[in-house]
């Protein structure tokens, strides 16, 4: 969902308004903009690592 919203050009602050944490101590709350940004960065890093290992 986060990636879909980012592809639509939404900012991390706008994305967080649409997300709700479903498990854990903060269940029912919205993630911080920093958490949204961290999720997007981690996804990009994993994608870069996969593409590098696929080239080898």
Over residues 15-53, the pLDDT tens digits come to 999 999 999 999 999 999 899 999 989 988 887 766 656
1 confidence band (pLDDT: 50, 70, 90): confident
2 confidence band (pLDDT: 50, 70, 90): confident
Sequence-distant (6+) residues with CB within 8 A of 50 are none
Predicted pLDDT at 53: 63
User: 3-class DSSP state for residue 16?
Assistant: helix
């Amino acid at each position: 969902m986060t990636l879909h919203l980012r592809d639509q050009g939404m900012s991390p602050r706008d994305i967080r308004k649409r997300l709700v944490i479903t498990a854990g101590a903060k269940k029912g709350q919205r993630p911080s903009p920093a958490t949204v940004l961290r999720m997007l960065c981690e996804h990009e890093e994993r994608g870069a690592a996969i593409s590098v290992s696929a080239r080898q």
